[in-house]
Structure 1
Amino acid sequence: MIMQSLRGRLFLGLTAVIVLAGGLGGLLTYQWAFDEAIEMQDSVLIQIGSVLQHGAQSAPAETPLAGVDSDAEVVIRELGTAPRGAVADRQLWGFADGLRTDSLQGRPVRLLLRSRPDGSRFAVAQQTAIRNEIAGELAFRALVPIAALIPCLMLVTALVINRSFQPVKRLAAKLNARQADDLDKLPVENAPRELHPFIASINGLLERIRLMVDQQRRFIADAAHELRTPITALSLQAENLEQLLLSDDGRARLASLRTGMSRTKHLLEQLLALARYEMGRPGKSPLVSLDQVAKDVVAELLPEAVERGVDLGFEIIEPSWVRAELVALAAMIRNLLDNALRFTPRGGHIDLGIYRQGEAAVLQIEDSGPGIAPADMARIFEPFYRGGRPSGDGSGLGLSIVKRIVENLGGTIAIENIQGAGLSGLRVTVELHHECDARATGRQQAPAAVPAES
């Protein structure tokens, strides 16, 4: 999975470069520090030899040097004025003055031989193993900063990569937060130059989708508009047939024909409403009393609710003013109540609430129906989707129209099932911007007949 991630690939690549560069740098640093430590120890031997050559008296045959770290194990061997004594001393007499590495008494040593003006000679010796151990320790200490720097660089690299990919994450978040019908172009002003071709491609795709959607909307609106005339003519002909003497079978067939034409006419009106509200937000809308419009729609639907045996009424109602087209607002409320009436069983109830909450005017509708299946909740606003348990002669466009109206008004809509002991039903909550400082001189009345767009 890491190799499929651009961020993972970049991190692995840079980590490999850091580790390789750190390893190579550490190796070179270790070798350099080791050589420097060896040269420093040679300098110490030379300084000791200079002091002994010009200022010190003869010492015993083998004497540790006072004032030098005992761990260094630097010793002085007085050789006298002629070869004498131990075999090692006679061996040293055969060497010329200066620094050399040789074996003394079976052990590798670093030697400095010097002669005094009086003809006496001495040797300053240090075991090679000791020198290498000291040089290794100093070189290892030089590696500690590099070893600590590598994980720090890896952490910084991860942070830089993550920060560099933030514009991509923000772009993805903006796209995910968009509404399904929001096809506006993505801005490129504040985006990194590397993302400009990608954003340009997305904008081109959005433009093509917008053109295709516009063509579909125009086709649906034109088709629905053209079909309304013949459907209306057929309805008139059906009404004329009712005045003729028909058999019982003929009247039953005529009733079926009129029912089918009524459903077709209702579907065409819904398609026209959907196409109209999908065109986007209108300009400056008038100030409308939400509570008054809701009262008028409830008054219009009350006879149907009584016929179905459903208790329809207000639970709470407060004066609320919003900017909206009167017909659109009434259509939104009617569609929601129409759906509630269709699914609420006889003896059930539908409660409306209109109240203010902060800067929002809230419309809430609760019914005692079966609610919506969880599997259908994500698709409930899709056009023509009627869920897993459709009821009545609905077209599946009502909630789609409601959502378009709410979005055009700059509001939000939320649907949830009512849960609790012995409770069932659906709760729909619509929030619109409330005009808090509105000074209305009178309430606008809803039209006598609100389009049946459920």
Structure 2
Amino acid sequence: MISSLRGRLFIGLTATIVLTGAIGAIFTYAWAFDEAIEIQDSALIQIASLAQSGSLSVNPPVREIEENAQVQLIELGRTAGVAPDQRQLFELKDGLHVASLEGHEVRVLVGTRSDGSRYAAAQPASVRDDTAEDMAARALLPIIALIPCLLIVTGLVITRSLRPLTQMAGNLDARRADDLHPLPAIDAPTELYSFIASINGLLTRIRLLLDQQRRFIADAAHELRTPITALSLQAENLDAVELPEGARGRVAALRQGMQRTRHLLDQLLALARYEAKPIASEMPQVSLDQTAKEVAADLLSQAADRGIDLGFEIVEPVVVRGEPTILAILIRNLLDNAVRHTPHGGRIDVGVFREDDWAVLQIEDSGPGIPAADLERIFEPFYRGSRPQGEGAGLGLSIVKRIADSLRGEVSLENMTGHDRSGVRAVVRLPLSRALDQPSIIEQPTPSPDPCFRSAS
């Protein structure tokens, strides 16, 4: 069964056109055939009238009047003493008849002159039928040519009529997952108004549901931070208390669990704040390089505690559209992820530069890398990989992905394989802001006075 509306309309209209054309062709053929017979009868009547008035002489007694139509004018005389094959013609009354002449069926018009002599205009029936069939077939040519033309026009009309529906589907497919603005009804066919209204109603209900979900996440995370912070302080106070060795291990495990919970709450709050922000085109302009420097400076002490060399390889001035807080969350999550997975004495290289029409943030670490099986799912919420480490909740990279998508950018992770370096390379590409006059070509990166900038080595 055909499920396409376009296919159903085309097949239904095609069947209607073909059936109507076939019925019309049958009636047209019959009408044209009868008309052709009547025309040939009229020709016999005209020839007979000329013979009646003496305008046509019958000498010899049988004269070919029209070679192609094979019309003969036959002189029958005044008595019945005519040739045997003409006897039956002499015996016919004046008028049109169907008779037999020389073994062939003919259409004949018999007439009598004022002097009593008789004549006949005859034409073979087979010739008449062939001529009538040919004329009837010619009458069908316009109908035969019209049917495919109508099918083409029908297809074009159906395609054009359904184009608003196709465009609407394309616009919906091109939307971001979090774009729940109502569909515009301007220029849409009136038949689609109820359909558009139903979709807009559904989008409104989904938006309200998502807003409730965001508020719940934000409120729950905010309310949970207070007791978690209090518990953390109480656990830290236990450091001054003399405890058995086994109890100290359990307290350390408790502190680690609360630290992980606090980190999860921070990520949930960051996610709730991000989802409440406007879309990229409505965001202000932000210096990506400056934001990256500020975030890296905040993490310098954490990296130093782990013996990690954190610094910039290249810094170029680039401006993008986005909320400073959102961009800081994106960069912090990537750097925090690199710090947590880089072993003691490792290295993290950060680069901010321009590539064609993109602002690029690149972070390379010297960690163990990501298993190939985890790369496809690494951006899924709460997915920590096949070998989770540290206190991460599996939300950091998911938030990075969603922020990059909302800013019409892209993010990718890949394992670096080489003789001198291994680890993970995270690359974020964001569209450059066109509102500011940025240099089209930067020949050399300008060293930054920031202490975390290092010369390329």
User: Under TM normalisation by the shorter chain, which class is it?
Assistant: 0.7 to 0.9
Are 2:91 and 1:94 aligned? yes
CA–CA separation in structure 2 for the residues paired with 1:126 and 1:286: 96
* Structure 1 position 107, deviation (Å): 2.4
- Which of 227, 247, 252 is 2:244 aligned to? 247
Q: CA RMSD in A?
A: 3.0
Question: Could you list the per-position Cα deviations for residues 169-188 of structure 1 after superposition, in whole angstroms to 9, with x for gaps in the alignment?
Answer: 21111222222222111111
Return the letter of the residue paired with 2:315.
I
Identity %: 56
Decide which moves more: 388-397 or 249-258. 388-397
Structure 1 pair 260–424 and aligned structure 2 pair: CA distance change class (3 A): closer
Q: How does 1:33-182 map to 2 (within 5 A)?
A: 33-54=32-53, 55-65=55-65, 68=66, 70-182=67-179
State TM-score, norm by structure 2: 0.85
Structure 1 pair 373–100 and aligned structure 2 pair: CA distance change class (3 A): farther
Structure 1 pair 415–82 and aligned structure 2 pair: CA distance change class (3 A): same
Return the letter of the residue paired with 1:18.
I
Are 2:433 and 1:436 aligned? no
* Structure 1 position 128, deviation (Å): 1.0
Question: Could you list the per-position Cα deviations for residues 230-283 of structure 1 after superposition, in whole angstroms to 9, with x for gaps in the alignment?
Answer: 111111111111101112111111111110110011111111111111112289
Are 2:8 and 1:25 aligned? no
Any conservation in 1 of the 2:48–2:121 contact (CA below 8 Å)? Answer: yes
Decide which moves more: 292-301 or 421-430. 421-430
Decide which moves more: 357-366 or 199-208. 357-366
* Structure 1 position 374, deviation (Å): 7.0
Secondary structure at the counterpart of residue 74 of structure 2: strand
* Structure 1 position 51, deviation (Å): 1.9
**Consecutive unaligned residues in structure 1, runs of 5 or more:** 440-444, 446-454
Secondary structure at the counterpart of residue 351 of structure 2: strand
The answer for the alignment partner of 1:328 in structure 2 is 326
State TM-score, norm by structure 1: 0.86
Return the letter of the residue paired with 1:58.
V
CA–CA separation in structure 2 for the residues paired with 1:161 and 1:416: 46
Return the letter of the residue paired with 1:35.
D
- Which of 186, 192, 197 is 2:194 aligned to? 197
Structure 1 pair 97–299 and aligned structure 2 pair: CA distance change class (3 A): same
Secondary structure at the counterpart of residue 71 of structure 1: coil
* Structure 1 position 79, deviation (Å): 0.6
The answer for the alignment partner of 2:232 in structure 1 is 235
The answer for the alignment partner of 2:454 in structure 1 is none
- Which of 387, 395, 398 is 2:396 aligned to? 398
Question: Could you list the per-position Cα deviations for residues 208-232 of structure 1 after superposition, in whole angstroms to 9, with x for gaps in the alignment?
Answer: 1111111111111111111111111
Secondary structure at the counterpart of residue 26 of structure 2: helix
Secondary structure at the counterpart of residue 214 of structure 1: helix
Any conservation in 2 of the 1:313–1:351 contact (CA below 8 Å)? Answer: yes
* Structure 1 position 360, deviation (Å): 4.5
* Structure 1 position 32, deviation (Å): 1.2
CA–CA separation in structure 2 for the residues paired with 1:388 and 1:86: 115
CA–CA separation in structure 2 for the residues paired with 1:78 and 1:170: 80
Secondary structure at the counterpart of residue 180 of structure 2: coil
Any conservation in 2 of the 1:113–1:123 contact (CA below 8 Å)? Answer: yes
Secondary structure at the counterpart of residue 59 of structure 1: coil
Are 2:237 and 1:225 aligned? no
Return the letter of the residue paired with 1:64.
E
